[in-house]
């Protein structure tokens, strides 16, 4: 299926704390797909994600989401964002958190029950978030972003600390959302999650190492696993 | 500006407080106990002079603390960053906080006033409702100042220290410890630039004067002016894009 880019970035330059985190980054994120943003910690994944959702101050370059400048008012109800640390209110219950964000996003109240089911938190609605485990809290945070069915969903390491069954279920959810027409950009530093993506963006020290599909990546590197493929790319990069 | 989001935010902030009954109890009980202590240690004439201004300034102090911590938490927990990516105007968020804490402040001011007049025999020469209105305005001022200053704190330790650093000097200079006219000229001028001076002045006039004079209106206007200025500056510190 021919797809236009959901996110288009040209010559993005970002400084954080006096360091050039992203020196000159250009990339296209194809629409209606699950795109994995992979790279070791400190490679600039979160900074790139923050630039796409429009909360990162940037030095220069172009970031467009759905054809509009990142952070535009018109995008605020079309782009969902899940931060790395669960950003929900600890002193509210699961349901109170979701009802509040549903009001802010102008989503129907029935969506609350739906997203609770999606992230497998049925029965936890009346529990205070502060009393939940790390993984449960991450799921509340994820549920918040699903409330208004955004066209672009940007998730910063959403599966950290989750058990394998739940991780599989969430990746299935991401797949369902993409099949329904959404674009998902999911960052991870776990290479085995790469196989579940349609496209991969491999980042290292603020630069793009490769943008390929998982089979392409294995073919070009001749590696047997995603881990080995990524290591091969790093070694090739270091030699250049 | 959206009434929906401001209303939802106010309900959310009040729900957070509802889950924290100890904080609510402290907000209501502490000013009453402090006022009772003051009544117990000073003679009646002095209490008649400072009782009402104190009753009206306690809400300012507690709202300052509660708001600065609440806003700091919002910044540190990442919920502010998340809200900034959502269809929400900054004034909706500020308005929501304002509505919620004004509601709490109204309850607090009513209880403190009732205790002062009912149990501690405080006599108020002017109309009680004007005293109540000034107390609520003070509380909202405290909220606005807390919201603004919390932007300069990067930890709860720092935010709490803003109380002695920012509020206590104003209490010393506002006229409650010594009349402003007896201060050295530079200090008198300085106190004229501080918001709590007007909070004290308005209440002390209501305490002793049965008519609501032009100075009380002026004090009220200055309090509202400081509140709006602090909220506007607070809005500037809520950035959609951060470094």
Closest Cβ opposite residue A87 in set B4, B81, B241 = B81
Closest Cβ opposite residue A57 in set B8, B79, B242 = B242
DSSP 8-state secondary structure symbol assigned to residue A56: B
B209 touches chain A (CB under 8 A): no
CB contact under 8 A, B5 and A103: yes
Residues 6+ apart with CB under 8 A from B5: A103, A104, B87, B88, B89, B92, B93, B96
Smallest CA-to-CA distance from A178 within A214, A213, A206, A152 is with A152
Cβ-based burial of B109 (10 A; exposed 0-12, middle 13-18, buried ≥19): buried
Q: Count A/B contacts: CB-CB distance under 8 Å.
A: 81
Q: How far is B242 from chain A (nearest CA, A)?
A: 5
C-alpha to C-alpha distance for A132 and B146, rounded to whole angstroms? 30
Q: What is the ipTM of this complex?
A: 0.88
CB contact under 8 A, B81 and A16: no
State residue A169's pLDDT score. Answer: 86
Q: Can you read off the two tokens belonging to residue B198?
A: 């007007």
CB contact under 8 A, B242 and A71: no
Chain A residues close to B23, C-beta within 8 Å: none
Chain B residues close to A73, C-beta within 8 Å: 87
Do A90 and A129 meet the contact criterion of CB atoms below 8 Å apart?
Answer: yes
> What is the pLDDT averaged over residues A73-81?
93
C-alpha to C-alpha distance for A6 and B176, rounded to whole angstroms? 62
B1 touches chain A (CB under 8 A): no
DSSP 8-state secondary structure symbol assigned to residue B117: I
Express as a percent the part of chain A with pLDDT over 90: 68
**Triad B156, B159, B165: Cα angle to 5°:** 145
| Per-residue H/E/C for A189-233 | CCHHHHHHCCEEEEEECCEEEEEECHHHHHHHHCCCCHHHHHHHH
Q: Where do we find the tokens 């009782």?
A: B51
Interface subset of A 21-60, CB within 8 angstroms of B: 53-58
Give the mutation candidate from A17, A55, A106 for the B interface (greatest B CB count, under 10 A).
A55
Distances (CA, A) of A144 to A24, A42, A104, A112, A157: 32, 26, 11, 9, 15
Q: What is the pLDDT along chain B (243 residues), one digit of tens a residue?
A: 678 899 999 999 999 999 999 999 988 999 899 999 999 999 999 999 899 999 888 888 988 998 899 889 898 888 999 999 999 988 888 889 888 988 888 898 889 889 999 999 999 999 988 998 898 899 889 989 998 898 888 888 998 899 899 999 999 999 988 899 999 999 999 999 999 999 999 999 999 888 888 999 999 999 999 999 998 898 888 888 888
State residue B1's pLDDT score. Answer: 67
pLDDT band, very low/low/confident/very high, at A3 (cuts 50, 70, 90): low
CB contact under 8 A, B12 and A17: no
Interface subset of B 2-41, CB within 8 angstroms of A: 4-5, 7-9, 11-12, 15-16, 19-20
Closest Cβ opposite residue A92 in set B19, B78, B83 = B19
> What is the pLDDT averaged over residues A23-40?
94
State residue A2's pLDDT score. Answer: 42
> What is the pLDDT averaged over residues A17-35?
93
Chain A residues close to B238, C-beta within 8 Å: none
Q: Can you read off the two tokens belonging to residue A120?
A: 């497998």
Do B114 and B36 meet the contact criterion of CB atoms below 8 Å apart?
Answer: no
Do A164 and A91 meet the contact criterion of CB atoms below 8 Å apart?
Answer: no
CB contact under 8 A, A87 and B77: yes
Q: What's the pTM? A: 0.89
Chain B residues close to A100, C-beta within 8 Å: 8-9, 11-12
Phi, psi torsion values for B18, nearest 5 degrees: -65, -30
B76 touches chain A (CB under 8 A): no
CB contact under 8 A, B83 and A104: yes
Distances (CA, A) of A135 to A25, A45, A115: 32, 21, 16
SS3 A162: coil
Sign of CA dihedral B178, B215, B126, B141: negative
H or E segment and range at residue A3: none
H or E segment and range at residue A85: none
Helix ranges, chain B (H)? 3-18, 21-41, 44-76, 79-84, 90-114, 128-149, 156-162, 168-173, 185-191, 195-208, 214-237
Neighbouring CB atoms inside 10 A of A231's CB total 14
Interface subset of A 120-139, CB within 8 angstroms of B: 128
State residue B22's pLDDT score. Answer: 93
C-alpha to C-alpha distance for B30 and B65, rounded to whole angstroms? 13
Q: Is the pLDDT of residue A187 over 90?
A: yes
Q: Can you read off the two tokens belonging to residue B65?
A: 């603390």
B175: left (phi over 0), alpha (psi -120 to 50) or beta: left
Chain A residues close to B16, C-beta within 8 Å: 89, 91-92
Neighbouring CB atoms inside 10 A of B1's CB total 9
Q: Can you read off the two tokens belonging to residue A182?
A: 């959404």
Chain A residues close to B87, C-beta within 8 Å: 73, 76-77, 104-106
């Amino acid at each position: 299926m021919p797809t236009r880019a959901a996110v288009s970035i040209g010559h993005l330059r970002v400084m954080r704390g006096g360091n050039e985190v992203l020196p000159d980054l250009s990339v296209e994120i194809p629409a209606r797909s699950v795109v994995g943003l992979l790279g070791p910690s400190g490679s600039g994944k979160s900074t790139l994600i923050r630039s796409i959702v429009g909360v990162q101050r940037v030095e220069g370059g172009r970031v467009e989401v759905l054809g509009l400048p990142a952070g535009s008012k018109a995008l605020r109800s079309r782009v969902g964002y899940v931060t790395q640390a669960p950003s929900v209110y600890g002193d509210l219950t699961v349901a109170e958190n979701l009802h509040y964000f549903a009001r802010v996003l102008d989503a129907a109240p029935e969506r609350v029950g739906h997203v609770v089911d999606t992230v497998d938190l049925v029965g936890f609605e009346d529990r205070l978030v502060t009393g939940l485990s790390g993984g449960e809290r991450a799921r509340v945070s994820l549920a918040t972003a699903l409330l208004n069915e955004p066209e672009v969903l940007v998730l910063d390491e959403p599966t950290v600390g989750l058990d394998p069954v739940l991780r599989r279920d969430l990746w299935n959810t991401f797949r369902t959302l993409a099949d329904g027409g959404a674009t998902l950009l999911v960052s991870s530093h776990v290479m085995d999650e790469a196989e579940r993506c349609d496209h991969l963006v491999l980042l290292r020290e603020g630069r793009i190492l490769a943008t390929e599909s998982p089979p392409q990546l294995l073919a070009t590197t001749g590696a047997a696993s995603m881990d080995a493929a990524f290591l091969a790319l790093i070694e090739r990069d270091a030699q250049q | 500006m959206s009434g929906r989001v401001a209303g939802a935010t106010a309900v959310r902030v009040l729900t957070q407080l509802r889950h924290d009954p100890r904080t609510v109890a402290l907000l209501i009980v502490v000013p009453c106990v402090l006022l009772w202590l003051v009544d117990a240690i000073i003679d009646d004439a002095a209490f008649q002079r400072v009782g009402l201004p104190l009753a009206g300034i306690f809400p300012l102090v507690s709202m300052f603390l509660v708001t600065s911590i609440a806003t700091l938490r919002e910044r540190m927990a990442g919920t502010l960053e998340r809200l900034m990516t959502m269809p929400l105007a900054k004034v909706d968020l500020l308005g929501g906080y304002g509505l919620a804490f004004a509601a709490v402040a109204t309850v607090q001011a009513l209880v403190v006033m009732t205790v002062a007049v009912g149990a501690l025999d405080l006599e108020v020469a002017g109309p009680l409702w004007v005293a109540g209105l000034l107390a609520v305005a003070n509380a909202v001022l405290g909220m606005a100042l807390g919201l603004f200053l919390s932007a300069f704190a990067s930890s709860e330790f720092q935010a709490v220290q803003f109380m002695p650093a920012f509020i206590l000097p104003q209490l010393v200079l506002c006229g409650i410890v010594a009349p402003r006219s007896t201060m050295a000229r530079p200090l008198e001028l300085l106190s004229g630039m501080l918001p709590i001076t007007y909070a004290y002045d308005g209440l002390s006039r209501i305490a002793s004067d049965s008519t609501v004079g032009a100075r009380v209106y002026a004090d009220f206007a200055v309090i509202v002016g400081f509140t709006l200025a602090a909220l506007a500056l607070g809005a500037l510190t809520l950035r959609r894009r951060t470094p």
